[in-house]
Amino acid sequence: MPAFTFEKISPPVRRDPAATPPKKPRGLISQMIDRFAERRARRTLQQQRAMRRDEKPAE
């Protein structure tokens, strides 16, 4: 007969992901670079579309 018994300990309760701290806002320089990159990407897309239209033979 055992002299003592172990108490069963339940595992720790998991926190939901919503409890994580909010992300740090992006810096001003990062935002400016994002804007420039987005405009440049749009411009290249427009140029590519224009080139495709010019390549098609006129019927």
Query: Which among 18, 37, 39 is positioned nearest to 29, based on CA atoms?
Result: 37
Output the pLDDT for position 4. Answer: 72
pTM: 0.44
Per-residue pLDDT tens over the stretch 2-21: 677 778 888 888 776 666 66
DSSP 19: G
DSSP-derived 3-state class of residue 10: coil
Tens-place pLDDT, residues 24-59: 777 899 999 999 999 999 999 998 888 877 766 555
What are the start-end ranges of the E strands in 1-59? Answer: none
**Continuous segment of H or E residues that includes residue 34:** helix 28-55
